[in-house]
Amino acid sequence: MSMIEIYTKPTCGFCHMAKRLLTAKGVSFTEVNISAQPERRGEMIQRAGGRSTVPQIFINGKHVGGCDQLLGLDRQGKLDAMLTA
**Averaged over 7-20, what is the pLDDT?**
98
Domain regions of the chain by residue span: 4-84
Fold annotation for 4-84 = Glutaredoxin (3.40.30)
1: confidence class by pLDDT, cuts 50, 70, 90 = low
With H, G, I as helix, E, B as strand and everything else as coil, classify residue 61: coil
Backbone region of residue 22 per phi and psi (left: phi > 0; alpha: psi in -120 to 50; beta: other values): alpha
pLDDT the model gives residue 84: 87
Note the pLDDT tens digit of each residue in 62-73. Answer: 999 999 999 999
pLDDT at 43 over 90: yes
- What is the spatial distance between Cα 77 and Cα 17, in angstroms, rounded to a whole number? 18
CA distance 63 to 49: 9
According to the model, what pLDDT value does residue 2 have? 81
Q: How many CB atoms are located within 10 Å of the residue 56 CB?
A: 26
What is the total residue count of the chain?
Answer: 85
